[in-house]
Structure 1
Amino acid sequence: MATKSPGGVQSVERVFEILELITDTGGEVTLSELAASTALPLPTIHRLLRTLVSLGYARQLPNRQYSLGPRLIRLGEQANRQLGTLALPELRRLVTTLGESANLATLDGDQVVYVAQAPSAHSMRMFTEVGRRAPLHNTGVGKALLADLPDDEVRAIVARTGMPTPTEFSIGTPEALLDELALIRERGYSIDEQEQEVGVRCYAMAVPGTPVPTAVSVSGPVSRVTEEFGTRAVPMLREVGAAIAVGMNAG
């Protein structure tokens, strides 16, 4: 259940509680499932959903389940742009120090979406378009975010999305993924070992204490992004992540 804010407007808090519950279930939920997940009375949930549907912030599907509505897309896109603008100076600091491309990504449903990038000056570099969506299980940022989730939730996500293996190095089973996530939790960062693209390695780390799950990464060719590179990159990722978290939580 959403935490109530002192002095908050109860009806607004309830609306966002409903939206977050729909999001937490993977995007589609029945009225009874919502009622089981919150202390709100069923008539209140139904009234809030009718209002959200009429405004376009929720949809009622033919199977009578509810999902997030299309008007939320515009809000999310604008929020992502603002987050990218806020983070860009820190990403550029990563590039200046380490010499490789830096990215910021957020969790969006069962995928990551890249919201900002500072490219390397090298002609041969990792390139990811801002706005691109990617799987969680075979990207550095995605695995960093999955490591912050319980194993049961990780299993539910990959059950919904499947586990495509774009390269011979990609993780293809839930068991192998959970083993990898245990290692990430232990060391505090993830590595994409050519799992998205052969010849590209990525070091990534979750940004702590952010309103939306966020990760920062640095990527480049395996010839330059070596284990020695990683020893320099990890402290920088931690420092930059902390600075981005401060900016995201300001005000």
Structure 2
Amino acid sequence: MIQSVSRALHLLEILARSGGSAKLKEITDISGLTTPTAHNLLNTLVALGYVKRRQGDVRYHLGDRILNIARVAGNDAELRETLRPKLEALFEMTGETVFLAVPSGDDIYFLDAIESRKLLHVAAQTGQRVTMIGSAIGQLFLAYNPSLRARTEISQDLRRDVEDIARRGYAIDHEK
């Protein structure tokens, strides 16, 4: 077994078990690696796109490359097929664009959509990612998933909006 590969994969597993992000101290405490070793491995994973850093944030986050692998490994086709009748029913009821999306790290990944035929409508985004905090559907996930909300840095204003969404039962995207 190649030790560096094993260690790097262990760090990815630690990030996944920590909800998708963790501080270097948390990672070293769990992994048992020295700080320089963990730091060097994480920097390699950052350079390859499997881990990412955000400006002003000391945590390491799962990156887009690992999230893309997870999306491919998951059974999106089965989920789409299972929920398509619900999308169609909701579309028939509202006449508006409807989406099927799932959390994917700190983003929302759109699996399916039925686009409204109205002149003024929201365009379908199938296959696209948007930030969790930048979409009404992402805010719904934050409102109803406490662990997701706990690991996502959001402003006090957005926190209030998410609490309102939880009380109301729906979110509105004002396209600001």
Fold match (TM-score > 0.5): yes
Greater shift, 100-109 or 77-86, is seen at 77-86
The correspondence for 1:127, drawn from 123, 127, 135, is 123
TM-score (norm 2): 0.62
**Which structure 1 segments of 5+ residues have no match?**
1-13, 44-58, 159-173, 197-251
CA contact (8 A) 1:85 1:116 kept: no
Higher helix content, 1 or 2: 2
Residue of structure 1 equivalent to 2:171: 190
Residue of structure 2 equivalent to 1:108: 104
* Secondary structure, counterpart of 2:153 in structure 1: helix
Q: Separation in 2 of the partners of 1:113 and 1:82?
A: 15
Q: Separation in 1 of the partners of 2:95 and 2:102?
A: 23
Residue 136 (1) aligns with residue 117 (2): no
Structure with higher Rg: it is 1
Residue of structure 2 equivalent to 1:76: 71
Q: Closer, same or farther in 2 for the Cα pair 1:100/1:78, shift >3 Å?
A: farther
Measure how far apart 1:133 and its partner are.
1.3
Q: Closer, same or farther in 2 for the Cα pair 1:141/1:71, shift >3 Å?
A: closer
Greater shift, 86-95 or 67-76, is seen at 67-76
Q: Separation in 2 of the partners of 1:151 and 1:62?
A: 25
Q: Separation in 1 of the partners of 2:148 and 2:71?
A: 27
Residue of structure 1 equivalent to 2:26: 33
Residue of structure 2 equivalent to 1:236: none
Q: Separation in 2 of the partners of 1:90 and 1:151?
A: 25
Fraction of identical pairs, as percent: 23
Measure how far apart 1:71 and its partner are.
6.1
Q: Separation in 2 of the partners of 1:73 and 1:151?
A: 19
Give the RMSD, CA atoms, in angstroms. 3.6
Return the structure number with greater relative CO, CA threshold 8 A, min gap 6.
1
TM-score (norm 1): 0.46
**Letter paired with 1:195:** E
Residue of structure 2 equivalent to 1:146: 142
Residue of structure 2 equivalent to 1:245: none
* Secondary structure, counterpart of 2:117 in structure 1: coil
**Which structure 2 segments of 5+ residues have no match?**
1-9, 34-39, 52-61
**Letter paired with 1:33:** E
Residue 91 (1) aligns with residue 87 (2): yes
CA contact (8 A) 2:142 2:149 kept: no
Q: Deviations over 1:184-220 (max 9, x none)?
A: 122222222x235xxxxxxxxxxxxxxxxxxxxxxxx
Q: Separation in 2 of the partners of 1:63 and 1:94?
A: 45
